[in-house]
Amino acid sequence: MKTYRSLVAIQKDLKNGSISCHSLTQAYINRIAENQHLNAFLEIFEAEALSRAQAIDERLQNGTAGRLAGMVIGIKDNICYKGHPVSASSKILGGYNSLFNATVVERILLEDAIIIGRTNCDEFAMGSSNENSAFGNVLHHIDNTKVSGGSSGGSAIAVAADLCLATLGSDTGGSIRQPASFCGVVGYKPTYGRVSRSGLIAYASSFDQIGPFTHTVQDAALLMEVMAGADDQDSTVSQKEVPVYSKLLTPKKGVKIAYIKDCMNSSGLDPEIKKHIEEKIEQLRAEGHTVEPVEFPYLDHMVPVYYVLTTAEASSNLARFDGVHYGYRSESATDIPSTYTKSRTEGFGEEVKRRIMLGTFVLSAGYYDAYYTKGQKVRRLLKDKTNEIFESYDFILSPTTPHTAFEIDRETADPTVMYLEDIFTVQANIVGCCAVSLPTGKHSNGLPFGIQLMGPSFKDQELLAFSHQIMNK
């Protein structure tokens, strides 16, 4: 089977009869089997996917197929799919099958997407390298000694290695965009509240968003079009009307773009990535766009604020995994207190326990005001300053990551080093705006990297359109 990089190409071949959904799905299943060493998928829904593909072939023949007919898609293992295991790549949810569909799953199924399996990730979406999964590392498809990025590393590799056409991931502080940059694919984080979080296993509820990994911006726009919109199951989702994103990708002239000087002058930024961003800035200027540096003196505050607030929310959200109601229960527990203590101690991985304890600390009576309350105040300051930039500019341009994919085990000894992987991506989650990583660069070490664009809240249409414009130059 030939390699497909867009749904348009697949649907063209479905129409002319050179492929069927069934043969396409089988080809992806075979390719996943050939690349098991990458550990991108935790489970393949082989029989179900093939049966569904057969049914969609019939709908294609009678003209009743949905907009996503022919899209074979993987879902991150923290997104619920009724009747299927969902573990957030954690031992604590062992044996648990979801009782319902996430809203995004419901919506893509209604448009005839074919869900091929669930992808590996950092446990409870906590990590930047996919080394925290209870089921092993995800390996980079180009260099197996390198990480895939995280937390949605399995989703990124599945698309990059052509194991399926698209995947869904979640982004709490860069967990879609960072692995997208490392793996050389498009990774889109919607505006907070644009896509329902119902059925997403929560890490930090005021930061989490579900978004797509694709090869093209057009496919990302189509998935956004299908997934976004009001949902009775999520009180935080916006009631705003959803534009037809995939039909609104027309180029625009005279766009105003800011770039944060401190990002470009960061000591940890790889010189080749810096040069690429500078060349991209000059290219945009040559095309008639305005690109100017802006001051943002709070760069060093973003990662600390992010970890104070997200760990606090994680401490609360993960309290439900207790060894009593469902999932893992310690065999050595003898009474109620030991059931809680032993089940959580044995069921959670080291990084998850670290963040739960940190979050419990910042919420404790003696430190609540000193850390959590102050963190919320700084979050408001960061949001106001970012919105101030958006009053004068359409988008903010930056590197997605300070470097390309790093070696497995390189950064696990010191958690604070790993936390700094999020330095360029956490801003979008802190302020709730939309952001995307576009695969525009290739390093001399042979690995891909991306540029990041951030747009104002609920300007997803404009960000997708401009991203499409950049990718089609």
**Percent of the chain residues past pLDDT 70, beyond the cut:** 99
Q: Based on DSSP, count helices (H) and strands (E) in the chain, helices before strands.
A: 16, 11
Which residues are catalytic, by number?
76, 151, 175
Provide mean pLDDT across the span 422-435: 97
* Residues 433-443 pLDDT 10s: 999 999 999 99
pLDDT at residue 416 is higher than 80: no
pLDDT surpasses 80 at 415: no
| Residue 62 buriedness (CB in 10 A; 0-12 / 13-18 / 19+) | exposed
Per-residue pLDDT tens over the stretch 170-225 = 999 999 999 999 999 999 999 999 999 999 999 999 999 999 999 999 999 999 99
Q: Which tokens hold the place of 133? A: 């999964």
Amino acid residing at 302: M
Mean pLDDT, residues 10-38 = 98
Instruction: Measure the CA–CA gap between 225 and 113, rounded to whole angstroms.
Output: 14
Report, as an integer, the average pLDDT of 404-417: 82
- What confidence score (pLDDT) does residue 411 get? 64
* Edge-to-edge strand list for the sheet holding 256-260: 41-44, 114-119, 72-76, 166-171, 209-214, 186-189, 434-442, 448-455, 395-399, 256-260, 290-294
Name the DSSP class of 371.
I
The CATH number of whichever domain residue 41 belongs to comes to: 3.90.1300.10
pLDDT value for 335: 94
* 6 Cβ contact list (under 8 Å, min separation 6): 165, 215, 216, 218, 219
Of the pLDDT bands very low, low, confident and very high (cuts 50, 70, 90), residue 473 is confident
In sequence order, what are the residues at sequence separation of 6 or more whose Cβ sits closer than 8 angstroms to the Cβ of residue 337?
none
What total of structural domains would you count in the chain?
1
pLDDT digits (tens, 9 = 90+) for 211-237: 999 999 999 999 999 999 999 999 999
Of 49-53, 132-136, 195-199, 410-414, the poorest mean pLDDT is in 410-414
CB 149 within 8 A of CB 129: yes
Per-residue burial over 374-385, b = 16 or more CB atoms within 10 Å of its CB, e = otherwise: ebeebbeebbeb
| Residue 256 clears pLDDT 80, i.e. is over it | yes
Write down the pLDDT at residue 417: 78
Arithmetic mean of pLDDT over the chain: 96
Domain containing 94: what range?
1-473
User: Which pLDDT belongs to residue 418?
Assistant: 83
- pLDDT confidence tier of residue 413, bands split at 50, 70 and 90: low
Q: Which residues make Cβ contacts (< 8 Å) with residue 275, sequence separation at least 6?
A: none
Q: 44: left (phi > 0), else alpha (psi -120 to 50), else beta?
A: beta
The answer to whether residue 110 scores a pLDDT higher than 90 is: yes
Are the C-beta atoms of residues 454 and 260 closer than 8 Å to each other? no
